[in-house]
Chains A and B, each alone.
Chain A
Amino acid sequence: MNRILRLFLPLALYLVFTVVPFYWMLLFALRPAGSTSLLPWPLTFDHFDTVWNGMGFRVYFQNSVWIALLTLVFVTFFALMGGYALARFRFRGQRAFLLALLCTQFVPGAMMLIPLFNIFQTFDLINSRWSLIIAETTFQLPLAMILMSGFVKNVPVELEESAMVDGCGRVRAFLAVVLPLLRPGIVAVGSFAFIGSWNNFLFALMFLNDPELQTVPVGLQTTIGENTVDFGALAAGGVVAAVPVVLVFAFVQKYLVQGMSAGAVKG
């Protein structure tokens, strides 16, 4: 009885709070326009057809996938390099570098839009997906690197040393011994990067004008019209936006808790 009051009742309440909004979106996406049924019945996929083929979500989706995947690759790769340096070397300027990484968290990203716009214009990257990939990589790298250095620290340095005694160079020792043990960290950092990049709205809104280049969040925003809102389209677009990240999340959620305890909290 005690356990029900203490554990299951609050959990049930919180589950309702979490799940009802998701359900509501699915409901509007799957039932016909004008229906007030609380069950998605009769089932229809018309709204998906509208957003996917009619409103360009097919293109937005592909753009978002490419941008998020490339961001994932860059963030993970650079975070591995820098995280390894932070965890395994003592070097002059290390503390300053770490402090600088932490300070980046205080920079208001939204307020950097105009100077960033000017820079990308100089490099002729406006209306290029590279502007999003570069900006997203830059803003995500600091935390990803701190997180990754936490994972590297968790790999005993003796393993690496013994591989080097056996004649491996540092690089081979890293690739053969450390990298396989870092898999959970790589998965965690990579999925953060993917989710963050997939969700970015303001950079895409600001740096891309061509509708052919737009991403899912901006497409989703366009379904919210000024006065008239097509709720079916809005909900179906929402499902398209949610499915990849929620799938990634479901897959990595246990690494996520490990990742947080390895990196961000323990420093």
Chain B
Amino acid sequence: MALAAPPPVRGHRLRRALAPYALISPTLLLLAVFLLFPVGSVLYYALQHHVVNEPYDDAFVGLANFRQMFGDEQFWSSLAFSAKWVFAEVLLQLLLGLALALIVNETFVGRAVARALVFSPWAVSGVLTTSIWMLLYNPATGVFHYLAELGAGSAGTSVLGNPDTVFGAAVVAELWRGVPFFAILILADLQSVPKELYEAASMDGAGRVRTFCHVTLPHLRDAIVLATLLRSVWEFNNVDLLYTLTNGGPAGATTSLPLYVAQLARKSYDFGYGSALTTAAFVILLFCSILYLRLSKFGREK
């Protein structure tokens, strides 16, 4: 009698306890096989001598790949490029995106159309951005050609072929599709600022600038921190645009760290060393992100 069938509630409770795990299990499985395992194998290969076309020379080499990295000038220059690239992109995207969000948050005739238009490059890929800007930058038929005919600038300027201008040219192309992301995120958050705060500010006689600094900006802080963080990581890892627009050139002027790793993998098949660079990139990103979240007081009371 004491071992009567468990009350139905119990089965229900067990099912309730297992339900969330069942619901996340497909994701866990995918992440484990196609993300966690590859990450693990990158960490493993970072400690190996592993060159794809020298299959019999595989051996555990400890930190030798990392020692090689410290002496590799191309590693340092590609890391410096990546830092410069991320800083320029994220700062400019933030400033322009904030301005754009504030503009399209106002009420005016045609706002919906204006929003759809200025946000639309967000949907566009790196390769497509490249194609469009190659047309624009082409010295013979691009916009600079027409501007030169109008008397602005000199004809035949190849902005992508000149090491002095290629950075700016690539930054502008990436801004074109990157600014909308910031604008969309910030606009979303702008719409959640309580109206009473603005009313209170105007009762206190605060002007436009003061209201912006003391009401709007503090409210946006978490959104801005999150957007800049995610975007920094994405811009750091961005390969498709630089790969297709400049392929790292001219003369290595636009070789970012991920691009350098991709080139290593393609040209020398040195996967052990490439994995060490990947590991270094991962550690740098993680370290900078944690530092940034700490310094920006993300998620704390405003």
Contacts and interface: CB of A to CB of B under 8 A. Distances in A.
Interface of A: 7-8, 10-11, 14-15, 17-22, 24-25, 28, 36, 38, 78, 81-82, 84-86, 89, 91, 94, 97, 100, 104-116, 118-119, 134-135, 137-139, 141-142, 145, 170, 195, 198-202, 217, 220-221, 223-224, 229, 231, 234-235, 237-238, 241-242, 245-246, 248-250, 253-254, 256-261, 264-265
Tell which of B34, B117, B130 has the most Cβ of chain A within 10 Å. B34
B226 A220 contact: no
Interface string B245-270: 00000000000001001100100000
Given A223-B131, A257-B184, 5 more contacts: A25-B132, A104-B35, A111-B278, A229-B134, A245-B123
Interface in B20-45: 20-21, 23-24, 26-28, 30-31, 33-35, 37-39, 41-42, 45
Tell which of A38, A105, A114 has the most Cβ of chain B within 10 Å. A114
Interface in B132-161: 132-136, 138, 141-143, 146
A15 B118 contact: yes
Contacts of A81: 23-24, 26-27
Contacts of A15: 114, 117-118
Interface stretch (B64-72, B99-107, B195-203): B99-107
A109 B237 contact: yes
A20 B143 contact: yes
Given A85-B20, A234-B134, A112 B35 contact: yes
Interface in B36-69: 37-39, 41-42, 45
A138 B35 contact: yes
B178 to A, nearest CB: 12
B41 to A, nearest CB: 4
A107 B35 contact: yes
A21 B27 contact: no
Interface in B172-199: 176, 184-185, 187-189, 191-192
Contact of A248 (B34, B123, B222): B123
B91 interface: no
B interface, over-half SS: helix
Interface stretch (B2-10, B162-170, B281-289): B281-289
B191 A257 contact: yes
Contacts of A248: 123
Given A18-B120, A24-B132, A221-B244, A201 B126 contact: yes
A265 B185 contact: yes
A84 B24 CA distance: 9
A110 B266 CA distance: 13
B125 A253 contact: no
Contacts of B142: 24
B215 interface: no
A17 B176 contact: yes
Tell which of B26, B123, B237 has the most Cβ of chain A within 10 Å. B123
Interface of B: 17, 19-21, 23-24, 26-28, 30-31, 33-35, 37-39, 41-42, 45, 96, 99-100, 103-104, 106, 108, 112, 114-128, 130-136, 138, 141-143, 146, 176, 184-185, 187-189, 191-192, 222-223, 226, 230, 233, 236-237, 239-240, 243-244, 258, 261-262, 265, 271, 274, 278, 281-282, 285-286, 289
Contact of A105 (B135, B230, B281): B230
A115 B21 contact: no
A159 B208 CA distance: 42
A245 B124 CA distance: 7
Contact of A264 (B118, B226, B262): B226
Rank and list the top 10 A-B pairs by shortest CB-CB distance, nearest first: A199-B125, A115-B38, A261-B188, A85-B23, A260-B188, A249-B123, A89-B20, A85-B20, A111-B278, A110-B239
A145 B31 CA distance: 13
Nearest to A219: B127
B141 A36 contact: yes
A138 B24 contact: no
A248 B124 CA distance: 11
A235 B135 contact: yes
B30 A257 contact: no
15 contacts: A15-B117, A21-B136, A81-B26, A91-B20, A100-B31, A107-B282, A112-B42, A114-B265, A115-B42, A118-B41, A224-B134, A237-B131, A249-B122, A249-B123, A258-B188
Contacts of B132: 21-22, 24-25, 238
Contacts of B262: 110-111, 113
Contact of B31 (A104, A110, A198, A259): A104
Contact of B192 (A94, A198, A254, A261): A261
A18 B118 CA distance: 6
